[in-house]
Structures are given as C-alpha cells and as structure tokens.
Chain A
C-alpha cells in the first residue's frame, strides 16, 4: 500500500463560522432544520439554473462572512469549487468579491479539498482568514451529466440525487470554533467500475485507501473518533465500504455514517441517497459544526469522496477514477 500524506497541523485552524443554503427538496430532508437558508424554488429568482447556482454560492460566501462577524476586507482568499465544467459557478460567484480566489475541483470531494488547502494556508500563517465554499445544483448537474429534467425515463436503483445547495465556512486562528487538527490528502484510486449510475461502488475503494493510510499515519483506530463521516457513498457505497474495511480487519461500527445516505427521507424517493459537491458541504457546515459546538461530537473524521469522471470519458468507455481526502476536526 502506498503512503499518502497526512499533515498534522501545529496551530490547528478554527472554523469560526459556517453557512449553508439549500433547495426546497433538501429543506424537507433529514437535515432541514439545521440549514441557514432554504430557497423557495430551485431558480432562486434567476432565469437559468446556472445563474441560480452562482447566486447560491455568492449568498453562502456573503452569509458566512457575516456569521463569522468579519468584514469582506478581512478575508485573504476564497477557495471554492463546484461540479460544472470549468467550475464556472465558483469563478462567477468570486467575481462579486474583492479578495483572491483559488478554484479547486475534486467532484463531490471538493469541500474536503478546499478545507484541506485552506487549513494549511491558515496554519502556515500565510493567510489570516480563508473562506472555503462548495456547491452543486441538481438541475445543472443533471443536464451536464445525465438527461433533460422532463424526460420520462426511470432512474436505476443505484442512482443518487444531486443536492441543490452550497456550504461555506471561514477558517482562522482567532475566534471560537471546532479545530482542524489533521489532514490526509488522498490518492486517485480506480478499481475498474464503469457504471456512472453506481458512484458509491466506484468511490468506496478510494475511501478504503485513504482511511487505511490515515489510520496508519496517525496511529488511530475507528474507536478514537466520535463520528466517521463519508461524503456521498450512498446506501450501496457505504455498505460496500463496511465490507471492504472488514476485509482489512477494521470494523466501522455505530460511529460511522454517510452524508448521502442520511440526507433525504425515505419517502423522498432518491433511491441510493444524495450526492454532489453540495451534499457533504451542506451537512458539514450545518449539522456537524452545530453538533460540535453543542459538544455532542468531540472528534470527527470527515471523508468526502469524489468521482473524477467527465461525460466524455464515460462515453468513451473509461472506468471511474475516484479520490477521497480525510479531515480531522476536534472540539476542545
């Protein structure tokens, strides 16, 4: 097994503020009461869904700066990403702000990527305050990766529902909030799954890889964490992960959960659950941060995963490479 890099952060940057905005369907889901803002409809007052996604991310960044009791001039850099081609939503959202912008892409693992890069920048004291933001929109992702919305087709039982939502947080050394203590950057893993409707199956090996090296590098076990939370493996993917880890002699027990699997209620008919960059971004920046501040969780291992495919690579019959980054968040 190759070694992946784990950074132990000396200064442990704090998450001093977080903000989430979601669509109406997400608002009716299991985490509905924890979100800061639920949109009345998917258009958000814009004439296209792409513009709505942009506005969503813009709102998340403005909201988080306010919630962290900062001014836009206090922010050094914004690290953001989304699912659209050339990550346009993030770049266009960044247009509205005066601070530097760094665009990242890790598909559904983008939140971890921006948190990881952001926390390293803050920890090294090159930046004082960093905004990390990630979002996705069901309707824009659907038309880029799948079929038109009104097409009368059936979804396969393994498919997942892209979350409409954006989450943002501010990292800083000053203030109150949960601390990021460790970051493991994952490597790209491809176990030959070609089915684009089965992202969970494709991504589970990437989580296995990152989890194993994280445990090895940090000399921890699953019992050391109050919560181990994967991004959007969904129902099937998380079952596969439990099996894969079991083969390695690591038992993922009651402290293991998956954002995608828990996101929607059963009657919302999303088959294997939620997915998309906004999925773990909105759960992390609402529920997880809130529960950590309340003291329910002391140490959380957050593992968003991303399937790094494009519609062209799929049509050419390529398998799906995936990546997973691990972030450890602690509350003093």
Chain B
C-alpha cells in the first residue's frame, strides 16, 4: 500500500516535470502542411481531368490517389518523408500520403529479413490497425444503412 502511494505521488511529480509541447506552433505546421497536401491532390486531379477529358470523375480520383501514394512512397524511399513528418506531425500522417509512408517505411526497414518474413509480414505492422478499423467501421455503417433502408 505504501509503495502504491509512493508510486502515485512519484508519477504525478514526473508528469509535472515533463516539458510540454507548444500546441499552437505544432497545430499551425500540421494544418498548413496537411492543407498543402490536399491542394496538391486537388491540383493533380484537375490536371488529369484537363489532360484526359474522357476520364470519369471516379477514375480521375483513383488516379490522383495512386499518384499521391507513389509520391509519398518515393519520398519515404529517399528519406525525405520522415523529415516532413518530424516537422508537420499529424499534417502529414492523416492524409493518404501518411498511410503510404506507414506501409513503405517498414517494408524498407525489414528488407534485410527477406521478402516473405521481412517485407510481406512486417509491411502492415503500423498500417494494419488502420485497415482493420476501416473494414470494421464500413461493415457497421453498412449494417446501419441496411437497417434504415428497411423502413
């Protein structure tokens, strides 16, 4: 009991000593970088629509996503994306480029363990939960939609 109390007081004291990150500069950097990535995506989309007028909107979106994923993976490969991430935080994690980075970075890292046990197994160590939550939430939303459509 005495130990428990000591640990609690100590943990509280340690928490009070931890240097705090300044929220406003971090938020500012996150938002402008994140916004810039979105503007870039929109730009790519517009260019596709302009160059290939016969494309449907859906196909253009898909092409835009593929392009963004490629750019992010490429930047990860040449060691630039982690620098952007260090600066922008959530701004470069939340867009699809961050997802691409989270798959490309373990693939590069675990290349030394071989294609199967290294790249393929470790590829989803970070992105895995995102995919699981994505699939599960889409099932839940689908069910709700189906139930509502019954009435």
Contacts and interface: CB of A to CB of B under 8 A. Distances in A.
A236 B19 contact: yes
B7 A47 contact: no
Interface string A176-204: 00000000000000011100001001000
B139 to A, nearest CB: 26
Instruction: Give the size range of A's interface with the partner.
Output: 20 to 34
Contacts of A49: 112
A22 B14 CA distance: 32
A209 B85 CA distance: 40
A151 B110 CA distance: 13
A240 interface: yes
A143 B125 CA distance: 12
B89 to A, nearest CB: 5
A148 interface: yes
Interface stretch (A62-70, A124-132, A153-161, A297-305): A153-161
Instruction: Give the size range of B's interface with the partner.
Output: 35 or more
Nearest to B98: A152
Contact of B18 (A48, A192, A198, A243): A198
Report which residue of A152, A155, A158, A240 has the largest number of chain B beta carbons within 10 angstroms of its beta carbon: A152
A148 B106 contact: yes
A54 to B, nearest CB: 13
A48 B11 CA distance: 39
A152 B82 contact: yes
Interface string B68-81: 00000000110101
Contacts of B86: 152, 154-155
A193 B126 CA distance: 25
Given A48-B112, A157-B18, A158-B18, A150 B79 contact: yes
Contacts of B79: 150
Interface in B72-119: 76-77, 79, 81-86, 88-89, 92-93, 98, 101-102, 104-106, 108-110, 112
Contacts of A157: 18-21
Contacts of B81: 150, 152
Nearest to B85: A152
Interface in A201-229: 201, 205
B105 A151 contact: yes
Nearest to A205: B10
Interface string A132-157: 00000000000100011111111111
21 contacts: A47-B112, A143-B109, A148-B109, A149-B82, A150-B79, A151-B82, A152-B83, A152-B93, A152-B101, A153-B82, A154-B85, A154-B86, A192-B8, A198-B18, A201-B17, A205-B10, A236-B17, A236-B19, A239-B17, A240-B14, A240-B17
